[in-house]
Amino acid sequence: MEPTQETIKSAVVNCLKNIYDPEIPVNIYDLGLIYNVDVDADLNVNILMTMTAPDCPEAEYMFQEVRDMVSYISGVKKVNVEITFDPPWDFNSLSDEVKVELGLM
């Protein structure tokens, strides 16, 4: 079965749910660090993400891990990861499941 934009995007989201923030024991997708995942017609993946803080000491490590892990997905041609701080991350970015897990709801 040939990969499609939809199957690649689903695989990317599943992959991101297996990458954990080193300071908060939550995956980066449910933590709200991923703002957008786009897969173009050529199966190139573009990810827009943020960090919990602009001076996050793990930023380069996280950036590289996302790029490396997503590039291993079968069918993905290129991976572009862009980091932004607009809008800045805050606790409202957490999924409801994580808020419950962390006792914030």
pLDDT in tens, 34-79: 999 999 999 999 999 998 888 878 778 888 999 999 999 999 999 9
Q: How many percent of the chain have pLDDT more than 90?
A: 63
Look up residue 78 and give its two tokens: 């290129």
pLDDT over 80 (residue 102) = no
22/36: higher pLDDT: 36
For residue 39, count CB atoms less than 10 angstroms from its CB and return exposed for 0-12, middle for 13-18, buried for 19 or more. Answer: buried
Q: How many CA atoms lie within 13 A of 67 on its CB side?
A: 12
Q: What's the topology of domain 5-101?
A: GMP Synthetase; Chain A, domain 3 (3.30.300)
- pLDDT of 26: 87
Residue 15: predicted pLDDT: 97
pLDDT, one tens digit per residue, over 72-100 is 999 999 999 999 999 998 888 888 888 88
Q: Distance between the two ends of the chain, CA-based, in angstroms?
A: 42
pTM, two decimals, is: 0.90
What is the domain partition of the chain in residue ranges? Answer: 5-101
CA distance 50 to 7: 24
* The pLDDT of residue 23: 79
Sheet containing 79-83: order of strands? 34-39, 45-49, 79-83
Mean pLDDT over the full length of the chain: 91
Tally of residues, the chain: 105
